[in-house]
Amino acid sequence: MSSEGRNEAIDGSLEYEDDEIIDSLTTVPEPQHGPLPQANHIDDGVLYEGKVFNSDDEAYNFYCLFARKNGFSIRRHHVYKSIKNQSDDNPLGVYKREFVCHRAGTISVDKDNEVEGKRKRKSSRCNCGAKLLVNITTINSEKKWVVKYFNNNHNHELLDDKEVKFLPAYRSIPTIDQDRILLLSKAGCSVSLIIRVLELEKNIDAGNLPFLDKDIRNFIQSQSGIGKEFDASNVLKLCKSLKDADNAFEYEFSIDENNKLEHIIWAFGDSIRAYEAFGDVIVFDTTYRINRYEMPLGILVGVDNHGNSIFFGCVLLKNEKIPSFTWAIKTFLSFVKGKYPQTILTDQDLAMKEAISMELPNTKHAFCIWHILAKLPTWFSLPLGSRYDDFKDEFYRLYHLECEDDFEREWKLMVEHFCLSKDNHIDLLYSLRQFWALAYLKDFFFAGMTTTGRSESINSYIKRFLGANTSLTDFINQVGVAVNIRNQAGEEARMRQKYHNPRIRTCFPIEEHAASILTPYAFKLIQHEIELSTKYAATETNNSVFIVRHHTKSDGGRFVSWIQENESIHCSCKEFEFTGILCRHAFRVLVMKNYFTLPSKYLPLRWRQESSLIPKSSHMINNNGGSLVKFRSLIQSLEIESLKTKLREQAATRELEKAIQVIKAMPEIEEKLVGVDSTVPDNDELNVENPLPSKTKGRPKGSRLKGGVEIAKKPRHCHVPNCGGTDHDSRNCPNKKKNIEALPSQSPNKRMKGWRKSS
């Protein structure tokens, strides 16, 4: 290049489009003539000095195609802009562009790397000298872009066709796929499932999409940030609209002194109605969170008479402290008119334990064994080493023991055998044994919710629609979708039950009787026990007490007591008290006593077919007048209490016949029900701000017993200077633009990334 050309380049305005630090401007080397050096040389027949393009974009696109074909990618480097002829009608403007290999330049030294929490990224730069330089030139009175310099030599290995597609420059999500991805994400599909759906729709082999799973995650995250500053107000407006559409929908929230959202809890009308029938056992799981605000998320779940998991309500809390849990429990009880659950299952949060003991003193509180088993590896795998698997098997065996004395004895032996007498986790588990060991829980009804399979099912289902960056409004909508899906599953089960013809596997009339009353799910469980009862032998001792043993055993067994007067039967295994399903030992005695039908008390209403027929209603009258929910609760209580003895049943039947005659004599014109006035202020006038993200590592420190994996996790922090937030990264940081505008003027020899400077 001539000296004049070099001076012109220095006088021009430089615009740096690369995101790395640019060293001082150097002169452009003179064009080389003759063959290029052969070191890592590639075919450059389609690109040469003097090649003409109609525009600089055309030159860039051509070079991109050339680079992809030959195993590398490019980026825009320098742009030269003239500051001369500004008063002319046709100023020269941009007259030169430089495109370089993506591995050009050197690794920048950034002192901010020492900042804790900043992500450490590897650099691919190796000072590669391959580049393309194009200048604007007038040819036949037309402006053209001509290649002035082309260096085709790389100092690094080039990629083959299978590898080059993974370079960021060639990974992009087409516009036609973006809406599809957002739709599938909103439906609760995981990233891996989204990728597979797109591959099948496009009829391409796995792995051949023009983007990767992390590109989808980044795209979904960037889209979820749109309008999030108004998220708290929007979620209250959404709740109000849901309340207007369904008066049975309930929600409540609280704000702090800074007008920021503190807690919010909501329950759909169908969920409240389901709680009236199946709220005897609930799981309150607070191990989830909305990552955007680092808020603990509590989900109240139960199981219906068809064995389906059902949502009762959801709550977002400020922290995991006792006042927060107390607020959640009190508010939810107000939704369900003060109906307490018989039992409640939670994780091992000690603050939750205290809140439940204060607000639900008559409710049995237990810990979910699934959460405890998930923490065993982080607690004991290292100190026990190769003996850990044996310990886990022994621990699980002790968990299933039925007798408290047996548990105490076997626990002591286990601790001695594995030398864990000084282990803090063992001491803690033992001190809380009444909350998780079945020997201490068998006297209470759990409806099968203690099984690990049930917990895993609930956990996996919730994670389907709870993403890392789910907004409050999206989450409430997704919970509503989940409720509708579960309702549909229940309706399908009720439809199947109408033509369900169960296969009778024994000759006992008692089996046919159970099949006519219970749902297919419950009958399958009780049928299993009836079948197994045929393998047991019952021996009567005295006072109507029987020893029931498996036919292959001569000792041990279960003690079954039978009282003929009130048709009561009780087994020492306590299976009926625990699950509501009569055990094989009791069936052995009932068959021995020539029972053709089961006593009504051993066919619980919550497992019966008629429990599915509770009518739905979208209206509720005010508290002073009672409610349809209360009416259904009274009907349920009436049946439970009246079926305990024949005398009660006869009295209830007699009084109901009288009540029906009185009701039939009343007018059939339905009075309009008065809707409940929302106690929540009009959200059109309420401007509530988003909750503050937690400033600690993860959520505010709670008292839940965390495993080593959980403790080791650290949130990602935005590494834009003077920010450090955890609800975003550097791509969408609100402080990024402010920092760029505040940059001081610098010497052309030390131009910073993204900075423009005129000489």
Check residue 225 and give its pLDDT.
58
pLDDT in tens, 631-659: 656 776 776 677 677 788 888 888 888 88
Q: In three state form, how does the secondary structure of 226-246 look? A: CCHHHHHHHHHHHHHHHHHHC
Q: What is the pTM of this model?
A: 0.63
Summarize the chain as % helix, strand, coil (round to 5): 45, 15, 40
Check residue 353 and give its pLDDT.
94
What amino acid occupies position 63?
Answer: Y
Domain match, 427 and 452 both: no
Choose one of 191, 224, 257: the last residue of a domain.
Answer: 224
Angle, nearest 10°, between helix axes 213-224 and 191-202?
110
Residue-range definition of the domain harbouring residue 647: 502-663
DSSP letter string, 701-744 = P-SB---HHHHH-------STTT--SS--GGG-TTHHHHHHTPP
pLDDT in tens, 239-258: 888 898 888 999 999 988 88
In a domain, 698, yes or no: no
* Helix/strand/coil for 134: strand
What amino acid occupies position 743?
Answer: L
Name the pLDDT band for 479 (thresholds 50, 70, 90). Answer: confident
Domain match, 452 and 391 both: no
For a pLDDT cut of 70, what percent of the chain falls above it?
71
pLDDT above 80 (res 441) = yes
In a domain, 496, yes or no: no
In a domain, 251, yes or no: yes
CA distance 49 to 127: 22
In degrees, rounded to 5, the angle at the alpha carbon of residue 254 between the alpha carbons of residues 250 and 259 is: 135
Choose one of 608, 629, 663: the last residue of a domain.
Answer: 663
Q: In three state form, how does the secondary structure of 430-466 look? A: HHCHHHCCHHHCCCCCCCCCCCHHHHHHHHHHHHHHC
In a domain, 344, yes or no: yes
Check residue 429 and give its pLDDT.
96
CA distance 120 to 114: 10
Check residue 131 and give its pLDDT.
92
pLDDT in tens, 254-283: 988 888 888 999 999 988 999 999 999 999
CATH of the domain at 290: 3.30.420
Domain match, 81 and 183 both: no
Tokens of residue 679, six digits: 């106690």
Domain match, 507 and 634 both: yes
- The answer to whether the CB of 605 falls within 8 A of the CB of 639 is yes
What amino acid occupies position 429?
Answer: L
| Exposure b/e, 49-80, CB count within 10 A at least 16 = b | eeeebeebeebbebbbebbbebbbbbbebbbb
CA distance 299 to 284: 6
Domain match, 506 and 481 both: no
Domain match, 180 and 236 both: no
Average pLDDT, the chain: 78
Average pLDDT over residues 584-597: 95
CA distance 626 to 555: 56
CA distance 230 to 235: 9
Number of domains in the chain: 6
CA distance 549 to 569: 17
Residue 54's nearest CA partner among 149, 146, 179 is: 146
pLDDT above 90 (res 757) = no
Domain match, 17 and 102 both: yes
In a domain, 181, yes or no: yes
Tokens of residue 385, six digits: 């080493």
Domain match, 315 and 413 both: no
Name the more confident of 118 and 62.
Answer: 62
CA distance 739 to 729: 15
CA distance 589 to 586: 5
Tokens of residue 723, six digits: 């920010």
Burial-class residue 746 by CB neighbours within 10 Å (0-12, 13-18, 19+).
exposed
In a domain, 677, yes or no: no
pLDDT in tens, 218-236: 888 787 655 455 467 878 8
Sign of CA dihedral 661, 662, 663, 668: positive
Domain match, 418 and 361 both: no
In a domain, 584, yes or no: yes
Q: Which residues pair with 136 in a beta bridge?
A: 145
pLDDT in tens, 352-397: 999 999 999 999 999 999 889 989 999 999 999 999 999 999 999 9
Average pLDDT over residues 287-308: 80
Domain match, 362 and 469 both: yes
Length of the chain: 759
Average pLDDT over residues 612-631: 46
In a domain, 531, yes or no: yes
Name the more confident of 6 and 579.
Answer: 579
Name the pLDDT band for 512 (thresholds 50, 70, 90). Answer: very high
For a pLDDT cut of 90, what percent of the chain falls above it?
37
Domain match, 19 and 125 both: yes
pLDDT in tens, 94-132: 889 999 998 898 877 655 555 554 556 677 888 898 999
